[in-house]
Amino acid sequence: MAGEGRLKRIRNIGIISHIDAGKTTVTERILYYTGVSYKMGEVHDGEAVMDWMPQEQERGITITSAVTTCSWREHEIHIIDTPGHVDFTVEVERSLRVLDGAIAIFSAVEGVEPQSETVWHQADKYNVPRLAFINKLDRLGADFFGAVDMMVEKLGVKPLIVTLPVGLEDEFSRVIDLIRMRVLRFSEEDLGVTVSHEDVPDEFKDQALQYREKLIETIADISDDIAEKYLDGAEIGEDEIVNAIRQGTIDGSFVPIFCGSGLKNKGIQTLLDGVVDYLPSPIDVPPIAGTNPKSGESEVRESDESEPLSALAFKVQVDQGRKLTYFRVYSGVLKAGAEVYNPRLEKSERIARLLKMHANKRERIDKVKAGDIAAAVGLKDSTTGDTLCDREKPILLESILFTEPVISLAIEPKTVADQEKLEQSLNKLIDEDPTLSVKVDDDTGQTIISGMGELHLEIVVDRLFREFKVAANVGKPQVVYRETATKRATADAVIDREIAGEAKYAKVSLSIMPLQRGQGVKVISLIKGDEISEEWVKSAIAAIRDAAASGPILGYPLDDVKISIDALQMREGITDEMAFAIASGMAVRSVAEKAGPALLEPIMVVEILTPEEFMGEIIGDLNARGGQLKGVEPKGKTNHVKGEVPLSKMFGYATKLRSQSQGRATFTMQFSHYGRVED
């Protein structure tokens, strides 16, 4: 296999967690200890290398996935630091799609928080092997074993504890390495760079031996050699233990658990050793699967430089007016200046330049090979989820699916010049962000932008003002509703008139029926025989889909309906595609009006962490907002409240919750489904 030695030393990993678990702080330490950064940036100072956008620095949160490359023990590690806020879950989704492994970070104080569960299950979806890092062991209320127990209970994890803390809270000082039975001390004089090894203190020896025994028992389940030695009481070598942990991590048998404190510079080097020792290289994961766009047959590409090129674009970013396309190379080699084929667009594009990324800094490179993550300049039309491959040996990789936006606002340029600037700027932002959508309201002429939440739209508007210098008035956020049918109906529409001086005729008969929630819009043709050309039927179907984007009540898109073409009538010489398209659009409006139309609204899953004393008021407020309580779980000194609430009732909730709980409660909100608007 060409380049196998190099591939063995590559790790493509992501860092995932709930907001405020310390993800970016840990990443900053990794960059410092691997020599990428010469200064440790802090999130609270607005100086974190990976949070380079002004909007991230001001809010102290990660908004966009940042990509960087570092080196540890002669291994090349490509890291994607992903956002923890629920409004930017898409960034996690598209990052996990191209990663081979991940580090999940949990706070030792809060444990498994709502967004931790979301990102963990996203990683499950893509079968991404993980390490867990229990962070913030220096904080008041830190509970290492409590956090591990929550991982078992909430995530269904089989934990493999490989390091233990020496002390907690103010007394947290060192980390016990259970494989080598030694204590690691991280020097405070040089920000933890120097790591010294010590014997395990007597007061921690029994606990360390107990958990080392558990570790050996767990890996004995997947290694016959270790099981045999364990039963015989023979000594088990360090390499044997490491290899067995690697095997079990990659096949998902268990999750190695590390511990430390990012802020106090403790435990990061041990975690880096874990990335090298236990997370997979590109050749340890199954070869990427796809479809041959010519034959429709399934194909795979091995992670090998000698295979035909296959790569997946997972992120687009507009930087200083230039479009950067981030991609993961699965097979083959790609050189700067070469052409790549996009099977979705059925066209080739030229790579002008190739870049190795470090957050918002970059280094020009001549070529990329299987296993690499890089960025390209010059891809004008390729976008997130597109395959880049060899034209002669094409393959279409599975794309990335994104959630529909649920909240919108109107934005109005102040001058005619700003109108053009607004359109251009929004087009660039849509290129970057597949969860942002833009449309112009036919009635008011206003531009409506839609996104995943209030914070998402706030960031978009902030970027329009600050980055793109657009002068505009912005409306208040509004809910994105849907419309549906409540009963079966049929309707006809006829066009029989002159259009642009030519006689046109077409008759379209449609029926509509409601579907279960979450089914979307299905359009089928019941036309049999060959009296109507296939092209005309396709034209009618396309027109029906277009017309379904505007329902009969308030013009919101139709959803959860099945529309059938029952009959099409034509007249020789005066019927064509245009006639069928116009009549089909008229028929959709007519049949939707007869089908008992009803409004649907986004229902959100709301999860709140609150101290016990505020529970009554918070639950009462959720009920007053039309919410349904789904459960309350004790979680240490706080309670985890879960409910479903219409999005329309949740505007300004963050402020209300702060006032109800003296600022001590936190919440996350995520789209669940569309439900019928109650009168």
Residue 54: the pLDDT is 47
pLDDT at residue 397 is higher than 70: yes
Residues 6+ apart with CB under 8 A from 354: 334, 335, 336, 364, 365, 366, 367, 368, 374, 375, 376
Smallest CA-to-CA distance from 452 within 405, 416, 490 is with: 405
Residues 6+ apart with CB under 8 A from 86: 114, 115, 118, 452, 453, 668, 669, 670
Residue 3: the pLDDT is 67
Confidence grade of residue 46 (pLDDT, cut at 50, 70, 90): very low
Helix (H, G, I), strand (E, B) or coil at 353: strand
pLDDT tens-digit readout, 1-24? 566 789 999 999 988 887 777 877
Give the C-alpha separation, 516 to 676, whole Å.
12
Residue 43: the pLDDT is 43
As a 3-state breakdown, the chain gives helix, strand, coil percent values, each rounded to 5, of 30, 35, 35
Do you know the residue count of the chain? 679
Residue 81: the pLDDT is 67
Least confident of 29-38, 58-67, 312-321: 58-67
Smallest CA-to-CA distance from 514 within 486, 550, 556, 544 is with: 486
pLDDT tens-digit readout, 320-361? 667 888 899 999 999 999 999 999 999 999 999 998 876 557
pLDDT tens-digit readout, 566-596? 999 988 889 888 899 999 999 999 999 999 9
Q: How many CB atoms lie within 10 A of CB 624?
A: 9
Residue 456: the pLDDT is 78
Residue 225: the pLDDT is 93
Residue 633: the pLDDT is 85
Joined together, the tokens standing for residue 114 give 């709502």
Residue 444: the pLDDT is 67
User: In the block, which residue shows the tokens 């007249």?
Assistant: 571
pLDDT > 70: percent of the chain: 90
**What angle is formed at CA 440 by the lines to CA 439 and CA 442, rounded to 5 degrees?**
130
Q: Per DSSP, which regions of 146-213 are E strands?
A: 159-161, 163-166, 174-177, 182-186, 195-198
Higher pLDDT, 25 or 9: 9
User: In the block, which residue shows the tokens 């923890």?
Assistant: 84
Joined together, the tokens standing for residue 17 give 């967690």
pLDDT at residue 392 is higher than 90: yes
Inter-CA distances, 434 with 291, 319, 504, 611, Å: 23, 17, 39, 37
Confidence grade of residue 245 (pLDDT, cut at 50, 70, 90): very high
Residue 59: the pLDDT is 39
pLDDT tens-digit readout, 55-71? 434 434 333 446 788 89
Residue 62: the pLDDT is 37
pLDDT > 90: percent of the chain: 54
The helix (H) or strand (E) run that includes residue 506 is strand 502-514
Tell me the H-state helices in 439-523: 454-466
387, 344 Cβ separation under 8 angstroms: yes
pLDDT tens-digit readout, 620-640? 999 999 999 999 988 667 788
pLDDT tens-digit readout, 429-480? 888 777 788 888 766 677 889 887 787 788 888 888 888 889 989 988 888 8
Higher pLDDT, 585 or 43: 585
pTM above 0.85, yes or no: no
Residue 91: the pLDDT is 63
Q: What is the DSSP string of 29-60?
A: HHHHHTTS-SS---GGGT--SS--SHHHHHHT
Helix (H, G, I), strand (E, B) or coil at 85: coil
User: How far is CA 542 from its chain centroid?
Assistant: 30
| Over residues 527-545, mean pLDDT | 86
User: In the block, which residue shows the tokens 């296999």?
Assistant: 1
Give the C-alpha separation, 196 to 186, whole Å.
7
Residues 6+ apart with CB under 8 A from 5: none
- Give the best-scoring range by mean pLDDT among 29-33, 72-76, 255-259: 255-259
| Over residues 631-652, mean pLDDT | 86
